[in-house]
Amino acid sequence: MQLNFFRALVNVLTLTWNRIRSGFLSHSWLTIFLIVLVTACMFIPEGDLYLRFERDRIIEQGEWWRIVTSVFVHSSWDHYTWNAIVLGASSLVCEQISRRAFVLYLLTMLVANAVFKLFIYDSGHVSLGFSGVASGTFVLLLVLIIGEGVRTRDAWMVVVTAAILAAFSAHEIGFMGQQSGWEMLSGRSIDALPGKKFKPVHILGMCTGLIVGLAYLFATAVHAKADQRKQCSDNPE
């Protein structure tokens, strides 16, 4: 059993780099589209007012587009920059490993996000931003890397990635650190209130990413096992 996490990590990054270098657009078009879309929404005059999630306007005035558009608009350039960094870093690699899992997660999260906000939050709730989706994408990426470690029997890849997942989860829940990632990076708060805040939509994204990732790995393992059995039956000794 290979016990060199860093060598395994280099292998994953090399594979990703080779794919990007050989066909960046073909292997990363979905991530690029999302970044372009999020960026374009920043230049829509008062776009955050017309596209953000407002429960009252959705229910009472039928502005249903807000359910989808709310995740693509941001309240400030700081808010946009942090989400774009997380989106670009996690989604790019996630799409390289498995675009199918990435697409499945995005669709599931958009539905889960809409249902959660419509039925859980009270009247008057307003929200916007891609951070919930990006948090779940990062968890999905970690799950896929853990799956790769299990498949290749690389114990360090599994252990270290699981530790990163545990630390990230603890930070999001509020057990580790009193600052958000953007505050640690830039020294200032995204909104006027400094400090790490518990955000249910982040937890929703993380749970969705975890469930989708585990389901994808399970389905892939079952499919691989079926193919192996078929090959054995087609080529009896």
**pLDDT one-digit tens code per residue, 17-38:** 665 566 666 778 898 899 999 9
Whether 132 contacts 199, CB under 8 Å: yes
| Residue 44 predicted with pLDDT over 80 | yes
Question: Which residue is it, tokens 């060199």?
Answer: 4
Query: Residue 231 corresponds to which tokens in the numbers above?
Result: 């090959």
Distance CA 125, CA 54 (A): 6
Whether 203 contacts 173, CB under 8 Å: yes
Helix axes 131-152, 5-42, angle to 10 degrees: 160
Residue 214's pLDDT is 95
| Residue 167 predicted with pLDDT over 70 | yes
Element (H, E) at 81: helix 77-86
Q: Domain spans of the chain?
A: 5-225
Residue 159's pLDDT is 87
CA nearest to 202, candidates 169, 161, 224: 169
Residue 207's pLDDT is 95
Check: CATH 1.20.1540.10 for 5-225?
A: yes
Q: Which residues of 68-215 form beta strands (DSSP E)?
A: 126-127
Distance CA 105, CA 231 (A): 31
| Residue 237 predicted with pLDDT over 60 | no
pTM, entire model: 0.82
Whether 52 contacts 98, CB under 8 Å: no
Q: Which residues of 31-156 form beta strands (DSSP E)?
A: 53-54, 126-127
Distance of CA 110 to the CA centre of its chain: 12
Residue 1's pLDDT is 38
Distance CA 69, CA 190 (A): 20
For 17-21, 37-41, 149-153, 211-215, which range has the lowest pLDDT when averaged over its residues?
17-21
What percent of the chain lies above the pLDDT cut of 90?
26
Residue 174's pLDDT is 72
Rounded mean pLDDT, 95-107: 90
* Banded model confidence at residue 140, pLDDT cuts 50, 70, 90: very high
Distance CA 131, CA 18 (A): 28
Distance CA 156, CA 177 (A): 25
* Banded model confidence at residue 187, pLDDT cuts 50, 70, 90: low
| Residue 3 predicted with pLDDT over 70 | no
| Residue 136 predicted with pLDDT over 70 | yes
Rounded mean pLDDT, 99-128: 89
* Alpha-carbon separation of residue 107 from 18, 50, 102, 114, 138 (angstroms): 28, 23, 9, 11, 16
Residue 128's pLDDT is 87
Query: Residue 65 corresponds to which tokens in the numbers above?
Result: 């587009």
| Residue 106 predicted with pLDDT over 70 | yes
